[in-house]
Amino acid sequence: MMNPGMQDASTQKETGAQMDAASFRKQLEEHLSQSSERVLLRIVDAQGHPEELTGTQIVERSYALAEAHVGSAVPGSVVLLLLPHSVELFLLHIGLVLTGYVPAILAWPTSRVDAEKYQRNLLHQLRNLPAERLITIAALTKNLSHTLPYPAVACVVAGAARWEEIFTNKVNLENGERLVSDAVPLPAESGALFLQFSGGTTGAQKAVVITAAILSAQLERLAETLEFTEKDSVVSWLPMYHDMGLIACLWLPLWRSAQSLHFAASDWLLNPGVLFDYIERYCGTFTWLPNFAFSYLAAQHERVGQPRALGSMRAWINCSEPVRNRSMQDFAERYGTWGVPRHALQACYAMAENVFAVTQTRLGENAPVYSRSALRGPDADEASAERQFDLGDEVYVGSGRPLRDMEIRILAPGSGEPCAERIPGEIHLRTPSLFQGYWGSGGLRTSSFSSDGWYNTGDYGFLDGGELFVIGRYKDVIIVAGQNVFPEDVELAVNTVDGIYPGRVVAFGVVNEQQQTESVIVIAELRGEFDPIRKRSTERAIYQTVLTSIGIAPRQVAVVPERWIVKSTAGKISRTETRARFMAELFKQVSSSPAQRSAVLQEK
């Protein structure tokens, strides 16, 4: 079994000297200490007040917090952090790294996360991670202490009562059985700095071991590509348990002695304009956002209110698979007069398994696009090639070129043969910041790697002139009578239907036993008050939209109340979990496609 982070010369591309954990910690402390009088980190509290920390204060307070909470834990061991957005969360994470422990930030529940899924994922992590200690708010130590096979230590956090209420509404572990952990400890020579987690959209989140070697390789190449310096400033609402928030928005500016400001995602959802407020106040230059945030901000333009001066921004980076042209275009149109030119809207392809970024578009240029109608896949037939439907986006948006020393290849599903440019297939990576496998109860799992060190991402896309275009997840493709239907395209079309909660749409396939093919299922949340009349009329509208946009009649459409669709703890919609819930609760209750087709025909 390979140790995580111990790069194998035969399977991992070498790009020069690799940094070990001790050297990384020393260099980080030097970076921070050189900014003794300069504010590097701002953490906004629940009252909207940013707490400012200079580089020296970060070091001193991080060390103090870590030493106050690790107790008898052995250096090199995993320490779990189950804390809400707070200055303590940030400083404990940094402090544990500096003192030689391996922190892992667990997701704190939000009002929108599915309670059952959250609890299941949390128990999975508590049972399967090789931890020696959990640090959480005081009230939860009593709740969890009898459940855990290791100590739960209290950390004082401002507004703890508010956070405790949110947590207890989502999780009930008081009467749970004591967890028995058979997790394999991280080897002493692993070089691990911290653990981060995969998105969890296809099941429980999986732990990725971040070593000094792969983190420094990522940070150096990302900074080089973005020309990111100490003069830059990041503004973010992204949570620390997600790689976009942790790596791009915290570790990149820390490593470059640049400023960053962080506020809670829940505050942004309640008041989306606060992002613009902080950008204007602190002259932000970078922010990373998921695709839905661009759409949400565009839709909330009137609510956001008076214009802000956003001209300081060098890049608004859309980090989603896939990136949607309409979302970017709408955002630029709404906020162009505020200082947001179209060329400032950028894109990247990133994942926790590569620490973060794989590709990045060129700053100062519009992200590349490629016509959907011009794309030809290996399975395309003449009939499907000639179909022209309104998918909302007439183009795919590129995610940029690989960062230095990062390799991408596209392989045909099944045969594994290399695909020529503009022929879609599965995306494979080999990079100097690539992880070595997922760490779980059985140790390191490397099943997604080829013998020569290539990692199969499970994503589907193509290359054009060296630019990567991501279409979606390959395993999510719905094959209807020989035609490939990407659920992302169905969801994009349905999001245009009046009354639908933006971004809360899921499409997936189920086997049609009679026709021996797959059929399309669509689930969409109804915004606002849920009533049967609106539900039925919206279902008919969705059915018609999918039929005219995609050219395929969905077998079933289910309009559901807000928050019915299951999201991962990372905040992404979980297609797998939502499908399972639908099959268990609604599959036999929703009218079949003939009735829906009849309803549509009667309306015409």
pLDDT digits (tens, 9 = 90+) for 417-476: 999 999 999 999 999 999 998 887 778 887 788 888 899 999 999 999 999 999 988 888
174: pLDDT confidence band, cut at 50, 70 and 90? low
Structure-block tokens of residue 42 = 């701002």
CATH code, residues 21-267: 3.40.50.12780
Tens of pLDDT, residues 340-372: 999 999 999 999 999 999 999 999 999 999 998
Instruction: Tell me how far apart the alpha carbons of residues 88 and 66 are, in angstroms, rounded to a whole number.
Output: 10
Structure-block tokens of residue 506 = 């899921």
CATH (one of 3.40.50.970, 3.40.1280.10, 3.30.460.40, 3.40.50.12780) for 268-473: 3.40.50.12780
Instruction: Tell me how far apart the alpha carbons of residues 332 and 339 are, in angstroms, rounded to a whole number.
Output: 9
Mean pLDDT of the chain: 86
Report the chain's C-alpha Rg in angstroms.
Answer: 24
Tens of pLDDT, residues 549-565: 888 899 999 999 998 99
Helix ranges restricted to H, 205-318: 212-226, 243, 252-255, 265-270, 274-282, 291-299, 301-304
- Report helix, strand or coil for 561: coil
**Predicted local distance difference test score (pLDDT) of residue 594:** 47
Identify the helix (H) or strand (E) that includes residue 65.
helix 55-69
User: Structurally, what CATH architecture does the domain formed by 478-603 represent?
Assistant: 2-Layer Sandwich (3.30)
**Predicted local distance difference test score (pLDDT) of residue 587:** 80
The closest alpha carbon to 285, from 325, 313, 247, belongs to: 313
Contact residues for 117 (Cβ-Cβ < 8 A; gap 6+): 566, 567, 568, 569, 574, 577
Question: Does the structure show a pLDDT above 60 at 497?
Answer: yes
Segments of the chain assigned to CATH 3.40.50.12780: 21-267, 268-473
Give the largest CA-CA distance in the chain.
72
The closest alpha carbon to 263, from 273, 274, 255, belongs to: 274
Of all residues in the chain, what percent carry a pLDDT higher than 90?
57
**Predicted local distance difference test score (pLDDT) of residue 45:** 92
Alpha carbon separation from 89 to 195, 196, 256, 262, 418 (Å, rounded): 15, 14, 21, 12, 45
- Report helix, strand or coil for 248: helix
Q: Which of these ranges, 38-47, 382-391, 549-558, 587-596, has the smallest mean pLDDT?
A: 382-391
Give the single-character DSSP code of 297.
H
Q: Where are the beta strands (DSSP E) in 25-128?
A: 39-44, 50-54, 78-82, 102-105
**Predicted local distance difference test score (pLDDT) of residue 503:** 83
Structure-block tokens of residue 425 = 């297939």
pTM for the model stands at 0.84
Q: Residue range 135-140: average pLDDT?
A: 90
